[in-house]
Structure 1
Amino acid sequence: MVCCRRLRHASHASRAWLMSAFAPVEPTEGRLADTIAEQIEQQIVAGQLKAGDALPAERELARIMQVSRASLREALLRLVSRELLTVRRNAGYTVAAVTAPSLTDPLLRLMQTQPKAVADVLELRQGVETLAARFAAERATEADQGAIAEAIEQMEQAQQAGDAEAAATWDARLHLAVAEASHNVAVVTVMRGLFTVMREHVRRTRAAMLVNASGDQALRDQHRALVAAIRQQNPAAAEQAAEVHLRYVRQGVIAE
């Protein structure tokens, strides 16, 4: 029962935060649908609306934004055509996930057959994620900090329980949460697009690192240092923590 109450509380808190992402639309000289679409798109670009977030029902959203349902529907369908939203009958509108299959599928195949591809992905991660960590320490909102804290908590719980698959997934989600906290649309788009590749990459690198207790402790300490630096709003420390973590992983993969 306690678990259920926690889940309901988390669900209500998440919904309250999502509702706060929308605001009444200010009158402009242009078409109202364009203004609505632009406001929602800005929330997606800024990372306030994340992949998988379900928008409120049309009637409710129209009330919050103080617009007609006809103009709102036109704006939402425009965002669907731009592949920023998805829509399903009786399920409403959802923020689309950037999967970039034309990029991720070849990388996944190469990682399965070519060891060098794993090291190459690490080089890419090192460049993007050190930058993301610095920006996250400068720009993370309270909601971003909550997402990062949840990811590291779930990752450590899964690792302690011996669930390697869940630990790898939450590890990847932690790094994605840091990227989303950067509020840099280029960084976020690249990291979201590479999420499937990153999850597989994390699974492989964790297997190489966690062959002994010292590797387990090292990864735990590195992740905690990264999260702490972001929480303390220390950009230099966050960048350094990301650099140390990815260098450690890279050296382990090369040795493996």
Structure 2
Amino acid sequence: MSIYEISFSPTGGTKKVADFLANELSRDITNVDLSNGKEDFHRFSLTKEDVAIVAVPSYSGRVPSTAAERISKIQGNGAKAIIVCVYGNRAYEDTLVELQDLVQQAGFSVVSAVAAIAEHSIAHRYATNRPDEKDYEQLKGFADKIGDKLKRNDFTTPAIPGNRPYRKAGEAGVVPKPTKACTRCGLCVVRCPVGAIDPSNPAKVNKKACISCMRCVSVCPHQARKVNRLLLAVVNMMLKKACTERKACELYL
């Protein structure tokens, strides 16, 4: 079985989950990086014999708008989709049901859904080092069940939690800034999924374009981009109650 792994993963947590599931199901994997703003997503056209893992992080309980726009350009043509949302141990709310609607509108047929946990991309104290061994054990069991369902030619769509209309999308707001350690190497400029960083001066960020994905922070070789400490403290405080208790991965089959 060949797999298309279609993922939006600015800081790598979502891709860890997608990679694991894809490798459990197949060794024939085609990667489609939704984080690559230079990619022409119209060129990806699947067939009804194909299977796709479509994975996104949950941003305030919704699919990131950038990922949604890029998914809509891919032609599903009846391919089977395993949809995955990854969140930082708070809640994923309407992310999965919105992702279901997006991939179905793009021509995919949803056969299963997974919600998984990865280290929070802003407040790293929550879900630190996840997915961990326990998560991967759970995900392996999920992959086995999904694989069995596909082998049985059972392409039914499971009931997936969430609300329509979706919850109101949150605003970005958390915009990382360079510190004195910045060497202007330009890696953050190249890797920004939405081109929000000025190529001539990495200290300048288009706040309206920035989606607070934290990729610039994660890819900087000098750890020279940071979130304002006071703002980070506020984020940590706001998330404390919801994020302290460990959440488990979930499968919808």
Provide TM-score, normalisation by structure 1: 0.24
> 1 or 2, which has the higher helix percentage?
1
> Which of the pair has more CA radius of gyration?
1
* TM-score normalized with structure 2 length: 0.24
Structure with higher strand content: 2
